Amino acid sequence: MPHVSMVLTPGFQFLALGVQAAFELANVLKGEEYYTLSIASVEGGPVTSSSGFAVPTTRLDDVGPVDTLLLLAGLVPPPPQEEATLDRLRAMARQSRRVAGLCTGAFLLGQMGLLDGCRATTHWSYARQMREAFPGVRVEDDRIFINEGAVWTSAGLTAGLDLAVALVEKDLGREIAGSIARRLVMHHRRAGGQSQHSELLELAPSSDRIQKALIFARSHLANPLTVEELAEVAALSPRQFARAFRAETGQTPAKAVEQMRLEAARLMIEETRHPMDQVARESGFLDLRRMREAFMRQYGQPPQAVRRLARSAQANVAR
């Protein structure tokens, strides 16, 4: 009977505790108590969340054998932990089948030395901080979650639920994992390789006119999408449109369109088996050469490498 222990640190975010729902629902769907659950901390006793509410916890050493160790932290990365604390976490991780750092909990794994030489992710807004703190870790800030052997990391708080469902899928199969996702009203179970955020949301223009032009561009990526075409959609002159667009988004229209094309192409590459030349045409790059150049500028690797990484991640989850 696998035991899942969620380990809290002071200042943890309550939402992170929601990952237990995936394991609870697995028990419901199995019709038996397949997983047992505990909420623990290194010292035990009440642990205060970022919102000021305390949660009772069991002392980690008293939890008993742990199959899956989940490290939960807060809205900001946890400060460096005392070496004695890290030693106790390392000891428990060694005894566990797998360990996961949810959102900023990945920083705890980094402090424990479990991410050295590995790929890892965390909330995109702290990716740079993680790279600086742990130069031996290959931080990928555009991933929902990453599985490196027995070590898992996830992006922002809700991505922890995607990771939890993936853990259940490893144990009990895709059918139960899919049922859990439906019960949790998740739009779909996101694969680990999916991007953390949308370029359209990232641009966040303030006026309806610029927003309308962006939505049009997103829906017509195969069009040339010149400044003149987008300006016409926004009912502005090309000069007015270019000036307003940069003021509201901080980017030129051409750069924004390229970012949306990259996002669309990457999703097609990761989630479909379309030939690369078809992906290039449908995302508006016209040909594979232009798409490859854009991928090298943005991601530092060609489209074929992105597809290989996505398939490798999917294979890891399926095992």
Q: Which residues contact 175 (CB under 8 A, 6 or more apart)?
A: none
Which pTM value belongs to this model? 0.64
Does 301 or 291 have the greater pLDDT score?
Answer: 291
pLDDT of residue 193: 47
pLDDT of residue 319: 54
Does 299 or 78 have the greater pLDDT score?
Answer: 78
Q: How many CA atoms lie within 13 A of 286 on its CB side?
A: 8
Same-domain status, 32 and 122:
yes
192 domain-assigned: no
194 domain-assigned: no
Same-domain status, 238 and 292:
yes
Catalytic choice (93, 103, 118, 144): 103
Query: How many other CB atoms are there within 10 angstroms of residue 211's CB atom?
Result: 17
pLDDT, averaged across the chain: 89
pLDDT digits (tens, 9 = 90+) for 247-286: 998 889 999 999 899 989 988 898 888 999 999 999 999 8
Domain count, the chain: 2
Same-domain status, 168 and 210:
no
142 domain-assigned: yes
262 domain-assigned: yes
Average pLDDT over residues 111-115: 97
pLDDT of residue 55: 96
Residue 199 has pLDDT above 60, yes or no: no
193 domain-assigned: no
* Reduced DSSP (H G I as helix, E B as strand, rest coil) percent helix, strand, coil of the chain, to 5: 50, 15, 35
Same-domain status, 150 and 256:
no
- The CATH number covering residue 228 comes to 1.10.10.60
Q: Which of 183, 211, 228 is the last residue of a domain?
A: 183
Same-domain status, 39 and 166:
yes
Q: Which of 183, 214, 235 is the last residue of a domain?
A: 183
Average pLDDT over residues 82-108: 96
pLDDT of residue 19: 94
Same-domain status, 137 and 213:
no
> Over pLDDT 70: what percentage of the chain?
92
Average pLDDT over residues 101-118: 96
Q: Residue 119 is inside which H or E element, if any?
A: strand 119-120
104 domain-assigned: yes
Average pLDDT over residues 131-145: 89
Residue 314 has pLDDT above 80, yes or no: no
- What residues make up the domain containing 84? 3-183
Letter for the amino acid at 132? E
Question: Is 118 one of the catalytic residues?
Answer: no
pLDDT of residue 72: 95
Same-domain status, 152 and 271:
no
**Do the beta carbons of residue 41 and residue 60 sit within 8 Å?**
yes
188 domain-assigned: no
Same-domain status, 160 and 203:
no
Same-domain status, 11 and 94:
yes
**Do the beta carbons of residue 64 and residue 3 sit within 8 Å?**
yes
Same-domain status, 140 and 232:
no
Same-domain status, 220 and 244:
yes
Question: How would you write 155-186 as a 3-class SS string?
Answer: CCCCHHHHHHHHHHHHHHCHHHHHHHHHHCCC
Helix 303-318 and helix 253-271, axial crossing angle in degrees, nearest 10? 40
121 domain-assigned: yes
pLDDT digits (tens, 9 = 90+) for 156-192: 878 899 899 999 999 999 899 989 988 887 744 444 4
pLDDT digits (tens, 9 = 90+) for 2-49: 999 999 999 999 889 999 999 999 999 999 999 999 999 999 999 999
User: Which range (201-210, 240-249, 253-262) has the least confidence?
Assistant: 201-210
Q: Residue 110 is inside which H or E element, if any?
A: helix 105-112
Same-domain status, 22 and 106:
yes
pLDDT of residue 289: 96
Between the CA atoms of 144, 146, 147 and 151, what dihedral angle is there, to the nearest 10 degrees?
-110
**Do the beta carbons of residue 57 and residue 6 sit within 8 Å?**
no
- The CATH number covering residue 127 comes to 3.40.50.880
pLDDT of residue 182: 85
